Amino acid sequence: MNIDIRQAVKNNLNNSSFEDVKSTIVDAMNIKEEKVLPGLGALFEVYWKSVGEEERNKIVQTITEKIN
């Protein structure tokens, strides 16, 4: 079975409110199960593609600082 996680996440959150999206993200992180990581990755990809190079550099810098 080949599942397009990116499209599934987008379909599941299509027309969602701010609170729905926030709740989805918070719940996924609170569950602490590996199976939710691809969905969070798909959401991160949506964000990454929507911002410019300066914002991407800030994201990378913040992640780098937090993992080191």
Q: What pLDDT, in 10s, does the model give residues 4-45?
A: 999 999 999 999 999 999 999 999 999 988 999 999 999 999
Residue 42 near residue 4, CB atoms below 8 Å: no
Measure CA 25 to chain center: 7
Residue 10 near residue 25, CB atoms below 8 Å: no
Average pLDDT over residues 39-55: 96
Please name the residues in contact with 26: beta carbons below 8 A apart, sequence gap of 6 or more: none
**In this predicted structure, what is the pLDDT of residue 1?**
61
